[in-house]
Amino acid sequence: MEKSIITVLEEEMRLRNYSQKTIKAYRQVIIDLFRKTGKAPRDLDREEIRSYLLKKEESGLSSQTISLSMNAINFVFTQLYKQKDFQKFRHPKKSKKLPVVLSREEILEMIDVVKNKKHQLMLALGYSAGLRISEVVNLQVQDIDCGSLSIVIRQGKGKKDRVSVLSSKLVSDLYKYTFEKNARSIVFESERGGKLATATIGKVFQLALKKAGIKKPATFHSLRHSFATHLLENGTDVRYVQALLGHSNIRTTQIYTQVTNPALKNIKSPF
Please answer whether residues 104 and 230 qualify as being in contact, where contact means their C-beta atoms are separated by less than 8 angstroms. Answer: yes
**In this structure, is residue 92 part of a structural domain?**
no
Output the average pLDDT for the chain: 90
What Cα–Cα distance (Å) separates residue 83 from each residue in 87, 130, 186?
9, 41, 44
**Whether residues 140 and 225 fall in one domain:** yes
Quick one: 158 and 238 in the same domain? Answer: yes
Whether residues 16 and 129 fall in one domain: no
pLDDT digits (tens, 9 = 90+) for 90-142: 887 766 778 999 999 999 999 999 999 999 999 999 999 999 999 999 999 99
Of 15, 46, 80, the residue that ends a domain is: 80
Distance CA 157, CA 224 (A): 14
Within-domain flag for 35: yes
**Under 8 Å between Cβ of 239 and 250:** yes
Read off the pLDDT of each residue in 177-198 and give the average, rounded to a whole number.
89
* 237 and 135 co-located in one domain: yes
Question: Is there a single domain that holds both residue 134 and residue 29?
Answer: no
Residue 206, in any domain of the structure? yes
Q: Note the residue count of the chain.
A: 271
Q: Angle 117-129/104-113 helices, nearest 10 degrees?
A: 160
Range of the domain at 36: 3-80
Look at residue 222 in the predicted model and tell me its pLDDT.
96
Confidence tier at 25 by pLDDT (50, 70, 90): very high
CATH number (domain holding residue 137): 1.10.443.10
State residue 262's pLDDT score: 66
> Between 247 and 209, where is the model more confident?
209
Work out the burial of residue 211: count CB atoms within 10 Å of its CB; fewer than 13 is exposed, 13-18 middle, 19 or more buried.
middle
Query: Which residue in 148, 152, 101 sits closest to 255, CA to CA?
Result: 101
What pLDDT shows up at residue 231?
A: 94
Least confident of 73-87, 125-139, 156-170, 204-218: 156-170
Mean pLDDT of 182-200: 90
Active site residues: 132, 157, 221, 224, 247, 256
Write down the pLDDT at residue 100. 93
How far, CA to CA in Å, does 226 sit from each of 86, 218, 257?
Answer: 42, 10, 12
Q: Among 51-60, 102-111, 161-170, where is mean pLDDT lowest?
A: 51-60
Burial call 124-158: b when 16+ CB within 10 Å, e when fewer: bbbbbbbbbbbbbbbbbbebbeeeeeebebeebbe
Domain termination site, one of 65, 80, 95: 80
- Whether 76 and 111 map to the same domain: the answer is no
Q: State whether 160 and 197 are in the same domain.
A: yes
Report pLDDT digits (tens) over 219-268.
999 999 999 999 999 999 999 999 999 988 888 888 888 887 766 667 77
The answer to whether residues 73 and 174 belong to one domain is no
Assign residue 33 the CATH number of its domain.
1.10.150.130
Has residue 234 been placed in a domain? yes
pLDDT of residue 158: 66
Q: At what angle do helices 117-129 and 171-178 cross, to 10 degrees?
A: 130
Asked whether residue 3 carries a pLDDT value surpassing 70, the answer given is no
Answer whether residue 72 is part of any domain: yes
3-state secondary structure of 4: helix
Check whether residue 190 and residue 229 sit in a common domain.
yes
At 92 the pLDDT is: 74
3-state secondary structure (DSSP) of residue 183: coil
| pLDDT over threshold 70, residue 189 | yes
Mean pLDDT of 207-218: 96
Strand partners, 145: 150
pLDDT band at 192 (very low <50, low <70, confident <90, very high): confident
Is 135 in the same domain as 246? yes
Distance of CA 50 to the CA centre of its chain: 28
Write the CB contacts of 171 (distance below 8 Å, at least 6 apart in sequence).
146, 149
Name the amino acid, one letter, at 166: L
Residue 47 lies in a domain: yes
d(CA 241, CA 249): 12
pLDDT bin (cut points 50, 70, 90) of residue 155 is confident
**Model confidence band, residue 193 (pLDDT cutoffs 50, 70, 90):** confident
Say if residue 57's pLDDT is above 80. Answer: yes
Q: How many domains does the chain have?
A: 2
* pTM over cut 0.85: no
Are both 121 and 74 inside the same structural domain?
no
Is the distance from CB of 59 to CB of 34 less than 8 angstroms? no
Helices and strands (DSSP H and E) totals, the chain = 13, 3
Is 137 within the bounds of a domain? yes
Regarding whether 112 and 44 lie in a shared domain, the answer is: no
Q: Is residue 198 part of a domain?
A: yes
Report the pLDDT averaged over residues 49-57.
Answer: 90
